[in-house]
Amino acid sequence: MRRILLALIHFYQRFISPLTPPSCRYYPTCSNYMLQAVQKFGAVRGFLMGTARILRCNPFVKGGFDPVGDHFSLRRNPHPEQYEDELIARKFHPEAFTKKAGTHE
């Protein structure tokens, strides 16, 4: 089941996604998120995590960096800064790099 799901995701990424304009509000994209979740947590839990992520990806959310966490969860990763490098952090969390925050400058 896992291999079939991964093949379907790869099919979507290669043949369907290029036909549509970029619309994912998160990094990694929702399809990459589901791919990583399935690889990390298996077909059922990975599919549930990916589906929850797709449902979160809409015009009413800010989006940003939201990697697959270390533990199964249907919610957004509460601490994405633990997984990102500084370049990504500055793009999606600029408030963390202001003088008021005082942690990085």
With cut-offs at 50, 70 and 90, classify the pLDDT of residue 3: very high
Tokens standing for 52?
């929850």
Task: List, for residues 66-93, the tens digit of each pLDDT value.
Answer: 889 888 988 877 665 555 556 666 666 5
Is 92 within the bounds of a domain? Answer: no
Domains in the chain: how many in total? 1
Is 97 within the bounds of a domain? Answer: no
Is 96 within the bounds of a domain? Answer: no
Is 71 within the bounds of a domain? Answer: yes
In whole angstroms, what is the distance from residue 6 CA to residue 46 CA?
A: 10
Q: Whole-model pTM? A: 0.72
Is 17 within the bounds of a domain? Answer: yes
Task: List, for residues 9-62, the tens digit of each pLDDT value.
Answer: 999 999 999 999 888 888 889 999 999 999 999 999 999 999 999 998 888 887
Is 12 within the bounds of a domain? Answer: yes
Q: What is the pLDDT of residue 90?
A: 66
What is the domain extent for residue 60? 2-79
Is 85 within the bounds of a domain? Answer: no
| For the chain, the helix, strand and coil percentages under 3-state DSSP, each to the nearest 5 | 55, 5, 40
